[in-house]
Amino acid sequence: MRLADKVALITGGGSGIGRETALLWAHEGAQIVVADVADAAGQAVVEEIIAAGGAAQFVHADVSKGADAQGMVERAERAFGKLNVLFNNAGISHIRDDDAVSTEEEVWDLTMNINLKGVFLGCKYGIPALRRAGGGSIINTASFVALLGAATPQLAYTASKGGVLAMTRELAVIHAREKIRVNALCPGPLRTELLMKYLNTPEKRERRLVHIPMGRFGEAHEIAQAALFLASDESSFTTGATFLVDGGITAAYVTPAES
Ligand code: NAD
């Protein structure tokens, strides 16, 4: 098993990428703490892991609140004795996130607080725990939009993910000699709730698909597989990486559909 004896904390573990990752990592031997604001969904993932013979606990945590971030890390150490892997994955894409003129300040602030400050707080409280464990792996979920601009604007979301990517690089450099690796996972467009509620018509979906060389949306379990590599010791020389899992979208100038 690729994560035997490891304890992993996954934020946003109740849905999408976080859920698939929790199930996969548990299958690979990790003890899992699922942190989420959605209690029923998070608890359901924990029950699924336990039913399959794994070990997991749920903790209610809003990643944008310092006390909650501290509490989720404490829970991992109390429940399983240590923390080896921190997956700062929780994020939102607000339906009213738009261009600079239209986006309300409260949408900007909420997005930044969860997507960017949430990663900072996870690291603020998680890094001391990783030190106590003798090192570890931090994976921050950014996005392909940290690297590419889109004509369908989501300004706050894009800026927050750019911040996650920049912060990840610096964290990687700061903590490299402490055996703490920090990588940014950059998914392309996925067929998850988060994106589909935003691309809510066939026309909007087609407009996005035309840019993806593979001609399809990714699946959450495909991101979980990449996260597994970054969590495991197989990626022992990988830190500060912009780890793209995007169906080729950032490599494309013209896609096969257009040529
Ligand atoms: P999702 O909506 O399926 O899951 C996100 C989870 O985060 C939910 O369970 C939600 O309850 C939780 N969450 C939201 N706010 C929270 C908070 N304040 N504190 C704790 N938990 C909170 O979304 P997903 O597609 O699995 O996205 C996971 C991550 O991947 C996000 O950071 C997202 O920005 C990123 N991402 C998604 C896509 C995509 O196309 N779906 C692409 C690139 C990056």
pLDDT tens-place string over residues 78-130 = 999 999 999 999 999 999 999 999 999 999 999 999 999 999 999 999 999 99
**Mean pLDDT score of the chain, rounded to an integer?**
96
Segment among 3-7, 124-128, 209-213, 255-259 with least mean pLDDT: 255-259
Judge whether 16 and 39 are in contact, CB under 8 Å.
no
Contact 82, 133 (CB under 8 A): yes
Instruction: Give pLDDT, residue 255.
Output: 85
Which stretch of DSSP H or E encloses residue 88? strand 85-88
| Placement of tokens 């003129």 in the chain | 101
The angle subtended at Cα 75 by Cα 30 and Cα 223, nearest 5°, is 40
DSSP letter at 113 equals: I
Hey, which of 194, 214, 221 would you mutate to test ligand 1's pocket, going by the most ligand atoms within 8 Å of its Cβ? 194
* Share in percent of the chain as helix, strand, coil (round to 5): 50, 15, 35
Measured by CA distance, the residue closest to atom 24 of ligand 1 is: 16
Mean pLDDT over 50-70 rounds to 99
pLDDT at 158: 98
pTM, to two decimals = 0.98
Percentage of the chain exceeding pLDDT 90: 90
What distance in Å separates the CA atoms of residue 157 and residue 116, rounded to the nearest whole number?
Answer: 9
Q: Do 56 and 79 form a contact (C-beta atoms < 8 A)?
A: no
CATH superfamily of 7-253: NAD(P)-binding Rossmann-like Domain (3.40.50.720)
